[in-house]
Chains A and B, each alone.
Chain A
Amino acid sequence: MKTLFSRSLPLALLLLAGNVLAQSATAPSLPDWDKLTPQQREVLIAPVRERWNSDPEQRPRMLEHAQRWKTMTPEQRKQARKGMRRFEHMNPQQREEARALFEQMKKLSPEQRKELREDWRRMTPEQRRAWVEKHAPKVPPIPPTR
């Protein structure tokens, strides 16, 4: 037992030290935006600029979405990011369903929403597809860039 302990202790210490060293090496703290270099800002902004320039017709919507994000509370943003993760894991058809359901729910009263939720649960995949086609949002969704 004593031998086992004396042999295990150096290994444990090595692992601990390695972990600490790894954290030190891989977790650089980045400063606030104002202290970033121009190159770093360029890297960060590039995806947005590219997206903005690539589709002029969608600019109003992108700006509107950005403004909406800005008006959200921190808790709402946190929830929205959670919903965004869910959305990212959906396939195109599921995304279409989510958009249609969301747009439809906005128009309904609480009772009607409850009724739609129950209807949706009972629908077969074919019925859901037909419902989505019937209730698809007027504005075509933006094609995913990623």
Chain B
Amino acid sequence: MNTEIDRNETFDRDMRQLHAAAMTHISPQTLTRLRATRHAAQVAPQRGHAWRWMTASAFSAVLAVAVGMQFLPRSVPVSTALPVAAATGIASDYNDGVATLEENPDLYLWLASSEAEPLAME
């Protein structure tokens, strides 16, 4: 057992020595290029992840607000929350209501009937 451990330690030491010796033979230009590549590899993904996390968080927040608004009570007090303008919009539709009084409703009913539909008046 001890022989096995000793053999492993010897192997590790030899490898470290080989690595140290190899490092002394690398040119400064190559070392500079390797450092730049390593630095870029470490920094770039972090920026990308940060952007993705921020985007995901922002959209989650927007969605949460949007969904939450669906559950807000809609029947708020009419006197303050619903302006007269809202009713004005309906009033413009209600001008149709005035139009309903202008003509005989049975005329309208007839115009939508199967008898009048084929009669091309317009």
Contact = CB atoms under 8 A, between A and B. Distances in A.
A91 B78 contact: no
A80 B107 CA distance: 8
B32 interface: no
Contact of A82 (B69, B106, B112): B112
B69 A20 contact: yes
Contact of A101 (B59, B69, B119): B119
A28 B81 contact: yes
B15 interface: no
A140 interface: no
Nearest to B80: A37
Interface string A24-42: 1000111100011101110
Contacts of B102: 62, 65, 142, 144-145
Interface in A11-62: 13-14, 16-17, 20-21, 24, 28-31, 35-37, 39-41, 43-44, 46-48, 51, 62
B113 A79 contact: yes
B70 A40 contact: no
Interface in B81-106: 81-82, 84, 86-88, 90-91, 94-106
Main secondary structure on A side of the interface with B? helix
Interface of A: 10, 13-14, 16-17, 20-21, 24, 28-31, 35-37, 39-41, 43-44, 46-48, 51, 62, 65-66, 68-69, 72, 76, 79-84, 86-91, 94, 97-99, 101-102, 105, 113, 117, 120-121, 141-142, 144-146
19 contacts: A20-B66, A20-B67, A20-B70, A31-B78, A39-B87, A41-B87, A43-B91, A44-B87, A48-B94, A62-B102, A65-B101, A82-B111, A83-B110, A84-B100, A87-B111, A90-B122, A98-B111, A101-B116, A102-B106
